[in-house]
Structure 1
Amino acid sequence: MTSSITDASGETSQTRKFLLLVIGSVGVVYGDIGTSPLYAFREALRPFATDGIQETEVIGLISLMVWTLTIIVTFKYVLFLLRADNDGEGGTLSLLALLMKKTGNYMPVLFFAGLIGAALFIGDAMITPALSVMSALEGLKLVTPAFSDYVLPLSILLMIALFTVQSKGTAAVSKFFGPITVVWFLVMAWGGLIHIGDDWKILEALNPLNALWFVTHAGAMGFIVLGAVFLTVTGAEALYADLGHFGRRPIQLAWFIIVFPALMLNYLGQGALVLTHPEAAENPFYLMYPEWALLPIVILATMATIIASQAVITGAFSLARQAVHLGFLPRLMIKFTSETNTGQIYVPAVNMLLFIGVIILILSFRSSESLATAYGISVTGAMVVTTLMAFQFLRSVWRYSVWTAGALLVVLFIVEVTFLAANLLKIHDGGWVPVALAIAIMLLMWTWTKGSRYIKEKTAKNDIPLETFIAMIERESAHAPVKVPGTAVFLTSVPDRTPAVLLHNIKHNHVLHEQNVILTIWTKDKPYIPDSERVKITKLSKRFMRLDITFGFMDEPNVTKALGLCRKAGFKFEIMQTSFYLGRRNLISTPHTGLPRWQEALYMALADFGIDPSAYFKLPPNRVVEIGEQVAI
């Protein structure tokens, strides 16, 4: 009897945790896509408003939106890509790490595709807060025109507040994200339900033939509005990027029982409203609701857009951490804002970059209508990249043939490339902004990766094999360095070569500790490494040992904490008698270099921007010794 009660209690607890994950995923994962109804249909209708909106145009547009959600979000992301995980983690860089691990060699096309996808996501993280918040606050104009002049300053104030609180962490606030966003989706569903009956013909939009008819008969105008139609799936990349936070099943269940039905009902309701009241095309979302509910809806929409903005900002922080661990960016200051959830981090440099970008976008475009034209390119570009990487995933991981993988993805690829081409028509109307952002961020990551590889290859030519050095230094001679008590830890990225900082220490100080550790820190392509696999100790001689510490690309690289595991492995040391030796490189420009002049200058600037390795690896600050060296680049 007691056992059955315990089992029932355990099942209840597991069910409760699962439901909490479902509700949490609604707030974090679907916050962005949940704000698309604010502007997507309005922007798609705009080109048709000049000569009168036709019934076939409304039904065709809604059909396109419904089936875009179905094909791209449901089939591609919810049912397929959520299964293309790297030990439970998703996102462009996580997928890139998995593919590079599986292929076993450096593939430039794959590498650049991953960088482009990551760069486009950062661009999306700048545009989403600006567009979403302005769209929500523009509803104030419908409450009273007197509020029109306050939309811009209120948007800026909200952005200042949002980016300021990032350093405090989102643990306390995030528990409210899910419930608020659930209410938001229910309100959207209600708005749609009360208007579908305005004209039941809108249900014809559920027939995909109407979407095909619109594409084939709307001519050039139809191709142009495809860019606006694609706004319905903005935020779909967050589905994949946030996989590790909630898991596949909660994200899938949230989509099918809450998010997808609410979005479908809302778009159908907007379409039916415009069929009966064409003048509502000015702002169909807000005009769906009765006048008494307008102000509460604006407030709720503003809260929903802030949550959506928080979701993409958090995603940008996670992506930056992955990029640093995978060697695509210099070491950045990463602060953990939760003692229990390692996914809650704050990256000051990325936060400042996003804040500056968002404020510039708001002041430059000044309205959601203008900014919407710039939005689609970053989203469609990222999705095309993800589809290309998914093709390689099917081949490398699931071992599908080229023909089978191509057959599964060709329709999706054609659809996304068509949307991308439609969005590229907006280059002159502001679409160049996300393209420029993506190119700039991609160049930063490419330059850092290329420069780091070049420096590593150049310095390796002058390195002394560690085995040769140990044999030489341990010979008793008159010139042998003085033996001093304690432990010295020398950090190096090439474990079979003698660390330059060790050579400089002997050269200048003429001493060698009684216990010397050659420490190499590795970052694996896996998200997390268990403590049982964290450290590996190899005895090299009486006074030398090699220590390998391994982190996953989502782990906190805390060396001090990892050293605590060494005692179980037989490495005895006292932290207050241990010195950590780091080499500080001073890069010097030379006429003959392996990098172009502009890339050399950019790499040196990035090197100066990175934080001190002792802070990044959480070394005891009062036990670190830095020895400088000059490296000609």
Structure 2
Amino acid sequence: MSREEDHIDMESETKMWKERKTTRGSLHRSDSLNLKAGKVSISANHSSKLGWRATLILAFQSIGIVYGDIGTSPLYVYASTFTDGISNNDDILGVLSLIIYTIVFIPMLKYVFIVLWANDNGNGGAFALYSLICRHAKVSLFPNQQSEDKELSNYRLETPSNKLKQAQKVKQMLEKSYFARVLLLLVTIMGTSMVIGDGILTPSISVLSAVSGISRSLGQGAVVGITVVILVFLFSMQRFGTDKVGYAFAPIILLWFTFIGGIGVYNLFKYDIGVLRAFNPKYIVDYFKRNGKQGWISLGGVFLCITGSEAMFADLGHFNVRAIQISFSFVTFPAILAAYSGQAAYLRKFHEKVSNTFYESIPNPLYWPTFVVAVAASIIASQAMISGAFSIISQALNMGCFPRVKVVHTSTKHGGQVYIPEVNYMFMTGCIAVSVAFKTTEKISHAYGIAVVCDMVITTYLVSLIMLVIWKKSTWLVALFVLPFSCIEFVYLSSQLTKFIEGGFLPIVFAIFLTMVMGIWHYVHKERYMFELNNKVSLDYLTELTNNPNINRVPGIGLLYSELVQGIPPIFPHFIANLPSIHSVVVFVSIKAIPISKVELEERYLFRQVKEYRIFRCVVRYGYNDLYEDPVEFENQLVENLKEFIRQESFILDTKGKTSTIEQVPIVETEREDILQGSNINDISANEGKSSSSINTCDRVNQGALGVENEIKFIEKAMEKGVVYLLGEAEVVADPKSSIINKVVVNYAYSFLRKNFRQGNKLMAIPRKRLLKVGMTYEI
């Protein structure tokens, strides 16, 4: 049959399939190893939009998860801005004006009303933006895209059609330029590295600033000691998950906002309500005229008023856009503006107390209650960025950009809530080291701001790319977004860099180190895939294998793991060479990361029969928020989907007026039992040929022939005999002819990472007793 006729038949099959009102997808039976796997099912179960009641509940919960960082910034902003004291009282108005408009432009306008909409099925962060771009443009460096992926219910490629020509031009430019694709990935990795760095610095500065309220009575040494104890407690609690730890914090943060907002209004009316003149931006101009270079340097402290803004985007997967918009606009925004205004009013009367403005401005009866709530709020502030960093690392791991670590999903309701033990202990060690080394919030703030502003700059440019390629906005509208926000952020970044020697180097060094680790891992990971793709097993090999009298079938199901989705991996012949037998049912399993947050269970498995002798290929697709099942559950799901595949394939072929392949190659019941007990492949072929030749003449054989249900029973009996996991232990080495840099990266850097992080079988929790590994060397 020609390709055109085949294509027409496939269209008619699909139409007929839909007319029968089934939720299952049409499948194409083919033995070509290069064709895509057939689709098992399509599900379009999208949850309906939440009502206002549910949205308001989420808005309340978001207060305890998202705003701890930006909400505790009033603890240290003025102290970090006026490091050398206040020389002119009007400088207070200038700094307050800067704080007001910085909060209005960055967290309110940029994040709440623009960036939040650039989410990936409700998930935020640098890798969520990258995965969104990968779905609409072929920019991924991994050549494992399949046309069936676009049919996933969460893929969602429907976008506005205006400015289509411009969007296509940008898209083609990205797809054709290898440099642009690599740069896009590196920028994403750098943004992720900055957020991870933020996850280390946030707990240090938040807890240290809150505990500093007792420095007057106990001294700075005691403050550092108590901070370390709180940090150990904080990271010990992470294993319980955001769902249990975080949601209970909403009332505390709400109480915190009530305290700082109420105290701010009290100080405003008591000391100087005239500071509200700072809403006039002319005080910003006057401030820079008076202070010049020193005023520009002080922007590093002012910028700390919006630290935590990126948490609104990173933690978006736990809530929804409307919930974040409501909670920020009606709770967080007015509370922190009142707090900064009240502190400014207090400083107008007592500018010499700027080093500890927050605690000095608290009325005496409220001092200790506020101190207790401040410590609790600082712990919650740390929780927001730590959980956000966990989510982003989980995304990077599934995109092949982070060494293997154990990801624990801590909530059945929210797939984005994860806990990573190894990273948690690394964070704890880093936070304690930073707190002990820097001792004061002023010194930590020099490092803290750089990490945050760099992440904001990267987010600005990734969102602008989404506006062009996906939202298809006009160039002038995108420029209206990019130019103002990037200018503001670069001004703040330039100010932060003046503190490079004083501690600002820390996040830069940390981000460079993490970027190198993630970049090396992704590079070798990609080259491994390319090696398998270029050395995949030919159809001739499988044909030769089926005719080889020395190869036996053994009882059970064999699952051979590989990342390859386009063919049979080169590790397969090594298994046959070491163990000259294959199982009665063989499935080549490819675990594939899809650039979406979640793949519905009904859409996860893609099957295709490779050869007639029960050799299948299965692509198992996971989103970056999906949970890997335990082995028993995985086996059951895979076998159930395999049986459904057999039913569907038979149905499709029946609708074409043909007899299914399974029925064309019948096996007598007694022969089926022989296969399960172990027999020769060639003998099976001979028996099948005899049965096939006599099918129209021998009623006895016809009655004994396997139909679809009998074939399914065969699969079930093979399942009862046991499932064995076949895993290739590939050692990756640099090609002797490659460059010195490649040899260092592959033979030393990657080898070190691979040996010191989790192995694939541990990550997938494969039972040791049913695991069979064969080694092979890949030269890249």
Q: Identify the TM-score tier after normalising by the shorter chain.
A: over 0.9
The residue that corresponds to 2:708 in the other structure is: none
TM-score, structure 1 as length reference:
0.93
Mapping of residues 448-467 of structure 1, within 5 Å: 448-465=521-538, 467=539
Q: What amino acid is the match of 1:393?
A: I
Q: Is the 2:235–2:428 Cα contact (8 Å) retained in structure 1?
A: yes
The residue that corresponds to 2:79 in the other structure is: 42
Q: Is the 1:141–1:148 Cα contact (8 Å) retained in structure 2?
A: yes
Q: Is the 1:120–1:381 Cα contact (8 Å) retained in structure 2?
A: yes
In structure 1, what is the Cα distance between the partners aligned to 2:329 and 2:505?
A: 35
Range with bigger deviation, 315-324 or 162-171:
162-171
Mapping of residues 92-103 of structure 1, within 5 Å: 92-103=126-137
In structure 1, what is the Cα distance between the partners aligned to 2:720 and 2:502?
A: 60
Q: What amino acid is the match of 1:138?
A: S
Deviation at 1:18, TM superposition (A): 2.8
User: Residue 113 of structure 2 aligns to a residue in which SS?
Assistant: helix
Residues 456-491 of structure 1 show CA distances to partners (whole Å, capped at 9, x for unaligned) of 3234443323x333222223x44x401222211111
The residue that corresponds to 1:616 in the other structure is: 763
The residue that corresponds to 1:8 in the other structure is: none
Q: Is the 2:533–2:569 Cα contact (8 Å) retained in structure 1?
A: no
Q: Is the 1:373–1:431 Cα contact (8 Å) retained in structure 2?
A: yes
Are residue 367 (structure 1) and residue 440 (structure 2) matched?
A: yes
- Partner of residue 529 from structure 1, selected from 578, 593, 599: 599
Q: Is the 1:558–1:619 Cα contact (8 Å) retained in structure 2?
A: no
In structure 1, what is the Cα distance between the partners aligned to 2:400 and 2:619?
A: 18
The alignment covers a number of residue pairs equal to 614
Deviation at 1:354, TM superposition (A): 0.9
Are residue 584 (structure 1) and residue 732 (structure 2) matched?
A: no
In structure 2, what is the Cα distance between the partners aligned to 1:575 and 1:183?
A: 58
Are residue 497 (structure 1) and residue 567 (structure 2) matched?
A: yes
**Structure 1 residues 397 and 213, CA gap change in structure 2 (3 angstroms):** farther
- Partner of residue 619 from structure 2, selected from 548, 554, 560: 548
Are residue 270 (structure 1) and residue 343 (structure 2) matched?
A: yes
Q: What amino acid is the match of 1:30?
A: Y
Provide structure 2 residue ranges, at least 5 long, that are not aligned to the other structure: 1-47, 141-180, 647-714
Mapping of residues 246-395 of structure 1, within 5 Å: 246-395=319-468
Are residue 32 (structure 1) and residue 178 (structure 2) matched?
A: no
In structure 2, what is the Cα distance between the partners aligned to 1:615 and 1:341?
A: 24
In structure 1, what is the Cα distance between the partners aligned to 2:409 and 2:456?
A: 30
The residue that corresponds to 1:7 in the other structure is: none
In structure 1, what is the Cα distance between the partners aligned to 2:312 and 2:256?
A: 18
**Structure 1 residues 589 and 537, CA gap change in structure 2 (3 angstroms):** closer
Q: Is the 1:535–1:548 Cα contact (8 Å) retained in structure 2?
A: yes
**Structure 1 residues 622 and 337, CA gap change in structure 2 (3 angstroms):** farther
Deviation at 1:135, TM superposition (A): 0.4
In structure 1, what is the Cα distance between the partners aligned to 2:129 and 2:89?
A: 43
**Structure 1 residues 308 and 422, CA gap change in structure 2 (3 angstroms):** same
Are residue 91 (structure 1) and residue 125 (structure 2) matched?
A: yes
- Partner of residue 580 from structure 2, selected from 510, 513, 523: 510
In structure 2, what is the Cα distance between the partners aligned to 1:443 and 1:114?
A: 13
In structure 1, what is the Cα distance between the partners aligned to 2:508 and 2:82?
A: 25
Are residue 596 (structure 1) and residue 742 (structure 2) matched?
A: yes
Residues 486-525 of structure 1 show CA distances to partners (whole Å, capped at 9, x for unaligned) of 2111111123333334212211111122211111111111
Range with bigger deviation, 152-161 or 256-265:
152-161
Deviation at 1:575, TM superposition (A): 6.0
Residues 260-285 of structure 1 show CA distances to partners (whole Å, capped at 9, x for unaligned) of 00000000000011012222312111
Deviation at 1:620, TM superposition (A): 4.2
Range with bigger deviation, 611-620 or 395-404:
611-620
C-alpha RMSD of matched pairs (Å):
2.0
Q: Is the 1:495–1:518 Cα contact (8 Å) retained in structure 2?
A: no
Identity %: 28
The residue that corresponds to 2:629 in the other structure is: 558
Q: What amino acid is the match of 2:544?
A: M
The residue that corresponds to 1:5 in the other structure is: none
TM-score, structure 2 as length reference:
0.76
User: Residue 431 of structure 1 aligns to a residue in which SS?
Assistant: helix
Deviation at 1:608, TM superposition (A): 1.5
Deviation at 1:159, TM superposition (A): 1.0
In structure 2, what is the Cα distance between the partners aligned to 1:123 and 1:562?
A: 35
In structure 2, what is the Cα distance between the partners aligned to 1:437 and 1:93?
A: 19
Q: Is the 2:79–2:442 Cα contact (8 Å) retained in structure 1?
A: no
Residues 520-552 of structure 1 show CA distances to partners (whole Å, capped at 9, x for unaligned) of 111111100112211111122222111111111
In structure 1, what is the Cα distance between the partners aligned to 2:244 and 2:624?
A: 26
Provide structure 1 residue ranges, at least 5 long, that are not aligned to the other structure: 1-10
- Partner of residue 520 from structure 1, selected from 573, 586, 590: 590
The residue that corresponds to 2:215 in the other structure is: 141
Are residue 240 (structure 1) and residue 240 (structure 2) matched?
A: no
Q: What amino acid is the match of 2:192?
A: A
Are residue 54 (structure 1) and residue 199 (structure 2) matched?
A: no
Deviation at 1:338, TM superposition (A): 3.5
Residues 71-128 of structure 1 show CA distances to partners (whole Å, capped at 9, x for unaligned) of 0000110000010011111111110111122221251221111111100111111111
